[in-house]
Amino acid sequence: MSRRLVGTIAPVLAVMVVLALPLVTTDRYLFKVLTFVGLNLIVVAGLALLFGYAGQISLGHAAFFGIGAYTVGYLTADGAVPWLIATLAATVLAALVGFTLALPMLRLKGHYLGMATLGFSEIMTVLFVEARGITGGNDGLRGIPYPVLGPFKIATPGGVYLLVWITAIIVLVLAGNLVRTRPGRALRALHGAELGAQACGIDTGRLRVQVFALSAGLAGLAGALYASSVGYVSPTTFSLEFSVLLVAMIVLGGTGSIAGPVAACVGLTLLPYVDALIPGLPREAVSFLQDWEADIAGIVMILVLLFAPGGVAGLIRSMTRAGDSR
| pLDDT tens track for 135-162 | 889 888 998 999 988 888 898 999 999 9
Phi, psi values for residue 193, rounded to 5°: -155, 80
Q: What residue spans define the domains of the chain? A: 18-239
Give the residue among 223, 239, 207 at the shortest CA–CA distance from 59.
239
Phi-psi region of 27 (alpha: psi -120 to 50; beta: other; left: phi over 0): beta
- 28's CB contacts (< 8 A; 6+ apart) are 157
Q: Classify strands 232-233 and 148-149 as parallel, antiparallel or unpaired.
A: unpaired
What own/partner pairs with CB < 8 Å and gap ≥ 24 does 184-188 have? 184/53, 187/49, 187/53, 187/54, 187/211, 188/53, 188/256
d(CA 174, CA 169): 9
pTM of this prediction?
Answer: 0.90
Residue 223 has pLDDT above 90, yes or no: yes
β-bridge mates for residue 269, sequence order: none
Residues sharing a CB contact under 8 Å with residue 80, sequence separation 6 or more, in sequence order = none
Report the alpha-carbon distance of residue 56 to residue 124 in Å, rounded. 20
Torsion of CA 145, 241, 310, 263, to 10 degrees: -30
**Residue 301 has what pLDDT?**
74
| pLDDT recorded at residue 147 | 93
**Looking at residues 26-38, what average pLDDT do you find?**
92
Contacts of 10 (CB under 8 A, 6+ apart): none
**Residue 185's pLDDT is what?**
78
| pLDDT band, very low/low/confident/very high, at 117 (cuts 50, 70, 90) | very high
Structure letter (DSSP) for residue 314: H
